Amino acid sequence: MHDDSVPPLSSDGRFAGLRRRGFLAATGAASLGALSLAGCGGSGDGGDPKAGGTPQRGGRLRAAFAGGGASETLDPHRANLFADAARAKALFDKLADHGPDLAARPRLAERWEPNRTLDRWQVTLREATFHDGRPVTAEDVLHSYRRIADPREAFRAKASLEPVDLNASRATGRRSVEFVLKRPTAEFPNVLAAFGAYIVPAHAGDFDANPVGSGPFRFVSFAPGRSAVFRRYDGYWDGAPYLDELEFVVANEESARVNALLGGQVEYAHELNPTTARAHEGSGQIDIVRLRNSAMQAFCMKTDRPPFDDVRVRRAFFLIADREELVDAALAGAGETGNDLFGKGYEYYADGLPQRAQDLEQARFLLKRAGAEDLRVTLDTSAVAAGFTEAASVFRDQARQAGVTVDVRMGSKDSYWSDILDGGILCCYRSGAMPIEAHISQRLLTDSTTNATHWRHRDFDALYRQAQSTPDREDRAALYRRMQRRLYAEGGFLVWGFADWIIGTARSVRGVEADAPANTLDWARFDKVWLA
Amino acid sequence: MSGLRSFVARRLLLGAAQIVAVVLLVFALTEALPGDAAVALAGDQPDPARVEAIRTAMELDRPAWERLADWAAGLLHGDLGTSLTSGRPVAGYLADGFGPTLLLAALTVVLLVPAGVGLGVLAARYEGRLVDRLISSVTLAVYAVPEFALGVLLVTVFALRLGWLPPTAVGHGADLLAHPGVLVLPVLVLLARPVCSLVRLVRAGMIDALASPYVAHALRCGVPGARVRRLHALPHALAPAVQQLARTVDWLLCGVVVVETLFVVPGLGTVLLGAVGERDVPVVQGLAVVFGVVTVVLNLGADVVAHRLAPRAGVVA
């Protein structure tokens, strides 16, 4: 299975990029990444003269992100925001990372091999060095994971590393680690690719004063909430970056990021609004790159509370949603419709299920059968994410047509995610990219830590466990399809869309990969970017 | 002069009490906000065990009064505490944010005073004539434009269309002075409304003073008109303007959030916004202390100056 020693972007990943290209050329987005890979440039240019060319060395790229203000840190294990993740990715590496289909791809790990019962994994590291010249060893890996799992700390990746028994895991050589797991985990490579699971040197010092990693860029300077300057690391195992220097600057207001890009103060602006993108797409001033399938947009029903403890009410709500209208109104058209399942386009996604569409008559019928005529529910929303309040008011109007009164309640954006975890019955929800397996284990098992739909079914848990102890990929895919069919029929997530993540770049920037949902390997990956 | 001294002493005592009250109020309000620093930090991963671990690490599980008392005890030794989110000293946050804020405020005031007073005197001098009507209507119009709209307008025209000035100060946090170009637009936006209110106050004060019996008397005694305006009328007109100016400086120093956000100037307003969002109570409290001190000192200073300018106005009462 995952004993492949393929380079990080295996051939099928490259072809996925090529397939996407025709589409992108049509929408006017220009900078494309797959071509930046040595050995695959030139072909399949898609007729867009700006896309190709031979990568050039040199130059300084400034990238604007929304940031965490004066509290920012370069400690990769504390990464929380996109800006943190982008900086961490420039300085550090993970053992694996997610490809565009969210399958794990080897990075610092050269290959991995499980035992027959999938509860012991032998991971071999590739030859790589930290910026201070010391090799990356098994000890560094174990140190990093033990630091993340430290019970006195609250690192984000701790929950992802939960399956690993770090006391029993050990180094079996300078570049090989044996991970002992608490239970069979067929998708263990996902753990290696988890958000924040970076490898730091065992003797790491102060991360903010002089962070030393094995990533493509080495540290130059850092002013929290303002700027971080990095320089090319010539000894990078995946090939030295083309850029001489990379600077991350923080601009929290979207208009400021756009203005800075238009005014030539930055060359890359992360997270733009759909309306901005539309205004500048094809204007010739800047290039717009849309990262498809980056953020699931959903309404979340508490499946253990009235009225949603009745599956007929949940089904009625599935049929109330006019997904096209939601995408058009709440995402300004920058996205695609959902089918009540997480992970469209990702590995194991059940794309054979029929697309749901609005059916108010059937919805009314189901509500009547459930004795829920003249239903009144409160929908929690907040300005915490783009499109939330819009989605809530659009859905309120759609529900009215089915005779359901929806009261929209605005919550505080600073505590929203915590408030909706156990509070209320219906809320707006979104999720960044993660493997479907991770979505299930974090949100849909009885003991999941962020189970916002309160989906707790022993038989469903059993299916998940069965999948995790199934070595064969096809058999596992069948199990994931079964789980998803169940969620499609009676789950608590009304997934109405998938939002694009929108990036603006200066016209001189090349090699920005578009087939890279936010948080995957090729998202915000500056070692393959160059300036023409 | 001893009257003035005891006045200053009384006001300083009162000011200290006010600062304490502000800090208590800010603490209570921040505590009353939904969620705490742990919840805010956990973000979209509100795993209850993780939130609890963060809470323990931040010592948020201790009673609120205990945390406040600890912080107050530190304050007596000049220690503003450490940020909950980053563990770095609050004093560093304030020092980093104060530079850009002070720079913007100083530049604005340096331009504001001559512009405001000059135009106000000019308008009063030609009361009812074309110059006066022009100044009065333009200042009224500009005053009516919200900062945000003006900022967007200026950026669009001068930075994006004409390309004369940089649109933001992004990345220049620490050394704004080395890139003076980035300061032009923010200072213009900051100036716009205060100039208008100052002009109108000075104009009204001057017209009042020029119509007063003592000016008429001075003129009867043969004192030249320009001298009367400069030495007799202007000080009177300036007394209310000084207090307005103090309020403006106070506003400039205590975080001009809109302008900072629009132009990416990492000043105190940005620090405040971030700290409230993160429920970083020590930082918010540190800012409350700074803002309290600034407000008290400025208002006291303004009262003393106004008193010197126009002793009979009775501001010392």
Q: Phi first, then psi: give them for residue B129, nearest 5 degrees.
A: -90, 180
- Element containing residue A506 per DSSP (H, E): strand A493-506
Q: Chain A: residue nearest B155 by CA?
A: A259
Q: Is A515:A24 a contact under the CB 8 Å cutoff? A: no
How close is the nearest chain A Cα to the Cα of B82, in Å?
A: 11
Q: Is A265:A247 a contact under the CB 8 Å cutoff? A: no
B27 band by pLDDT with thresholds 50, 70 and 90: confident
Cα Dmax for chain A: 70
Q: What are the structure tokens assigned to A277, written together?
A: 């993108």
Closest in B170, B174, B275 to A251, CB measured = B170
Contact between chains at B40 and A223 (C-beta distance less than 8 A): no
- Give the whole-angstrom CA distance, residue A89 versus residue A270: 15
Is the reported ipTM for this assembly greater than 0.90? Answer: no
- Domain ranges in chain A? 20-92+215-285+507-531, 93-199, 293-499
- Give the whole-angstrom CA distance, residue A212 versus residue A44: 38
Q: List chain A residues with CB under 8 Å of B263.
A: 256
Q: Is A113:A121 a contact under the CB 8 Å cutoff? A: yes
Query: What are B216's strand-pairing partners?
Result: none
Q: Chain A: residue nearest B164 by CA?
A: A263
How close is the nearest chain A Cα to the Cα of B77, in Å?
A: 24
Q: What is the pLDDT along chain A (532 residues), one digit of tens a residue?
A: 343 333 333 333 333 333 333 333 332 333 333 333 333 333 333 334 345 678 999 999 999 999 888 889 999 999 988 999 999 999 999 999 999 999 999 999 999 999 999 999 999 999 999 999 999 999 999 999 999 999 888 888 998 999 999 999 999 999 999 999 999 999 999 999 999 999 999 988 889 899 999 999 999 999 998 899 999 999 999 999 999 999 999 999 999 999 999 999 999 999 999 999 999 988 889 999 999 999 999 999 999 999 999 999 999 999 999 999 999 999 999 999 999 999 999 999 999 999 999 999 999 999 999 999 899 999 999 998 889 999 999 999 999 999 999 999 999 888 899 999 999 999 999 999 999 999 999 999 999 989 999 999 999 999 999 999 999 999 999 999 999 999 999 999 999 999 999 999 999 999 999 999 999 999 999 999 999 9
A410–B contact, CB cutoff 8 A: no
Closest in B96, B171, B275 to A249, CB measured = B171
Q: List chain B residues with CB under 8 Å of A253.
A: 261-262, 264
Closest in B96, B167, B261 to A260, CB measured = B167
Q: What are the structure tokens assigned to B36, written together?
A: 């705490």
Q: Classify the phi-psi angles of A503: left when phi > 0, otherwise alpha if psi is within -120 to 50, otherwise beta.
A: beta
Contact between chains at A259 and B159 (C-beta distance less than 8 A): yes
How close is the nearest chain B Cα to the Cα of A215, in Å?
A: 23
- Give the whole-angstrom CA distance, residue A156 versus residue A307: 34
- Give the whole-angstrom CA distance, residue A255 versus residue A247: 20
The dihedral through the CA atoms of A268, A269, A274, A275 has a sign that is negative
Task: Tell me what pLDDT residue A359 has.
Answer: 96
Q: List chain B residues with CB under 8 Å of A69.
A: 270-271, 273-275, 278
Q: Among B39, B45, B165, which would you mutate to test the A interface (most chain A Cβ atoms within 10 Å of its Cβ)? A: B45
Contact between chains at A262 and B170 (C-beta distance less than 8 A): no
Domain made up of A93-199: CATH architecture: Alpha-Beta Complex (3.90)
Q: What is the DSSP string of B268-309?
A: HHHHHHHHHHTT-HHHHHHHHHHHHHHHHHHHHHHHHHHHHH
B197–A contact, CB cutoff 8 A: no
Q: Give the number of beta-carbon pairs within 8 Å between A and B.
A: 150
Q: Among A73, A258, A413, A417, which would you mutate to test the B interface (most chain B Cβ atoms within 10 Å of its Cβ)? A: A417
Contact between chains at A260 and B96 (C-beta distance less than 8 A): no
Residues 219-238 of B with CB under 8 A from A: none
- Element containing residue A400 per DSSP (H, E): helix A388-401
Q: Report cis status (omega within 30 of 0) of the bond before A241.
A: no
- Give the whole-angstrom CA distance, residue A341 versus residue A361: 23
How close is the nearest chain B Cα to the Cα of A343, in Å?
A: 18
CA distances, A121 to each of A175, A181, A195, B114 (Å): 14, 8, 20, 75
How close is the nearest chain A Cα to the Cα of B56, in Å?
A: 9
Closest in B43, B49, B159 to A263, CB measured = B159
Contact between chains at B39 and A414 (C-beta distance less than 8 A): yes
Give the up-direction half-sphere exposure of residue A239: CA atoms within 13 A in the CB hemisphere.
15
Cα A473 to chain centroid distance, Å, stands at 22
Amino acid letter, A435? P
* Chain position carrying tokens 């991963």: B45
Q: Among A77, A276, A415, which would you mutate to test the B interface (most chain B Cβ atoms within 10 Å of its Cβ)? A: A415
Query: What are A114's strand-pairing partners?
Result: A121
Q: Phi first, then psi: give them for residue B166, nearest 5 degrees.
A: -70, 140
Q: Give the pLDDT confidence of A258-271 residue by residue, as tens digits.
A: 999 999 999 999 99
Contact between chains at A223 and B174 (C-beta distance less than 8 A): yes
What's the fold here for domain A20-92+215-285+507-531? D-Maltodextrin-Binding Protein; domain 2 (3.40.190)
Contact between chains at B261 and A68 (C-beta distance less than 8 A): no
- Element containing residue A115 per DSSP (H, E): none
CA distances, B36 to each of A307, A481, B33 (Å): 31, 40, 8
Q: The domain A293-499: what is its CATH number?
A: 3.10.105.10
- Give the whole-angstrom CA distance, residue B292 versus residue B299: 11
A412–B contact, CB cutoff 8 A: yes
**Do A20-92+215-285+507-531 and A293-499 fold alike per CATH?**
no
A245–B contact, CB cutoff 8 A: no
The stretches of A72-200 forming alpha helices (DSSP H) are 82-91, 138-149, 188-192
A480: exposed, middle or buried (Cβ count in 10 Å: 0-12, 13-18, 19+)? buried
Q: Give the pLDDT confidence of B29-57 residue by residue, as tens digits.
A: 888 888 888 888 888 888 888 888 888 88
Q: Is B36:B273 a contact under the CB 8 Å cutoff? A: no
A68–B contact, CB cutoff 8 A: yes
B147–A contact, CB cutoff 8 A: no
Q: Give the pLDDT confidence of B110-139 residue by residue, as tens digits.
A: 999 999 999 999 998 898 899 999 999 999
